[in-house]
Amino acid sequence: MRPRGREERHRAATPLELFFDLCFVVAVAQAGSQLGSALGEGHVRHGIAGYLFVFFAIWWAWMNFTWFASAYDTDDVPYRIATFVIIVGALILAAGVPRAFADSDYSVTVTGYVVMRVALVAQWLRAAASNAGPQRRVALRYAVGVALVQLYWVLWLVYVPAGDKWWALLPGLVADMAVPVVAERDAETAWHPGHIAERYGCFTLIVLGESVSAATVAVQSAVDEHQAFHELLPIAVGGLLICFSAWWIYFARSVEEHLRSNRVAFTWGYGHFFVFGSAAAVGAGLEVAVEHAVGKVHLSAQAATLGVTVPTAVYLITVWALHSRHVKRGIALWVLPVSGVVVLFSPSVLVAGLVCAASVAVGLLVHRLQGDGDADGPAVAEPTEV
């Protein structure tokens, strides 16, 4: 298992990696569904806390495998089997999400997480055995670090009392996120900037698609039961505008050229927790908005709207912080953060969607006026052709 070249040409996502993403989205869907149910029942604090914890486990396991695969993808039989084991762990985690939300029972979710991470430890040990020098040291640090953190999570599950579990989360989360920083402190793995950018883009697409799917199912169910077309149409239109705009904004410019060091890449990669988490939460918020419109949940109109506008605002501002601010200048630099603030205070889902669409339109207008490609137009075509 030798490192891939960072300057390797035509480094693209493999079918196994795409299959991996699709299996992981099952866990994302479970987390989003449970968040929507908790918000609809008025358990806002419990729902958000549970969602963040479960989504961290999903995102962190996905991210660690993605960066490992970018550096050491051999695509042989042992590699594929280890990847399948990680997928099994993701499915176990997904199966435990309802119990985690309903009863604060994290036994199944933690079991799934440990399965995923132990399989990754095996991959790092294989990389260590196949290399020498700095790459061997890095691989061993990863293997030991990940293994020690999994021991912490097992002890957390078994020995920490239920009333203290939330307080004991922080050390485990910090330790998990510190492993890559410590492991690569004096040598870097051979991750590929273009491959990493593509992998993150693929997962963004899948999460946005899950939000559209969740909203569609909610609208269909409400229509079948209540025939409330006039009440649901503004939510459906607003939700689609948000998702369409989220796609346009994320893929406006390629970020590959920006990912040239571990310092930059770690900030960018870690920051995507908020991109992925907020994109998935938009779908949960749309479910709540639909149920409120037909009277299935007893929330205020403002609370139901906030379930959509808050994650949308987080998405816009985070994408701006990770992507747009590095390539924009002048007025274009402030389109997304201003839009995020306006969305946050929007009185309805439809207005929030219109604001998102307007931010794209303003970006295209600025692009035309500046004539330098700094707007929120797609990276694959000129905006005038879209």
d(CA 331, CA 131): 49
pLDDT 10s digits, 286-297:
989 988 888 888
- Considering only CA atoms, give the Rg of the chain: 21
Determine the pLDDT at residue 226.
63
Across 36-57, average pLDDT: 89
Would you place residue 384 in the very low, low, confident or very high pLDDT band (cuts 50, 70, 90)? very low
Please state, in angstroms and rounded to a whole number, the distance separating the CA atoms of residues 219 and 229.
9
CB count, 10 Å around CB of 15?
Answer: 8
| Least reliable range by pLDDT among 90-104, 348-362, 370-384 | 370-384
Alpha-carbon gap, residue 377 to 42, rounded angstroms: 39
How far is residue 114's CA from residue 60's CA, in Å, rounded to a whole number? Answer: 12
* 3-state percent breakdown (helix, strand, coil) of the chain, nearest 5: 80, 0, 20
C-alpha 9, offset from chain centre? 27
Banded pLDDT at 163 (limits 50, 70, 90): confident
311 Cβ contact list (under 8 Å, min separation 6): 277, 278, 279, 281, 282, 285
CA dist 67 and 65 (Å) reads 6
Taking the whole predicted model, whether its pTM rises above 0.85 is answered as yes
The token duo for 112 is 């799934």
pLDDT at 326: 72
Confidence at 260, pLDDT banded by 50, 70, 90? confident
Residues in CB range of 20: below 8 A, 6 or more apart: 62, 65, 83, 86, 87
Q: For the ranges 7-16, 51-60, 261-270, which has the lowest average pLDDT?
A: 7-16
Is the pLDDT score of 59 beyond 90?
yes
Q: What is the pLDDT of residue 383?
A: 37
Band of residue 75 on the pLDDT scale cut at 50, 70, 90 = confident
Q: Give percent of the chain with pLDDT exceeding 70.
A: 93
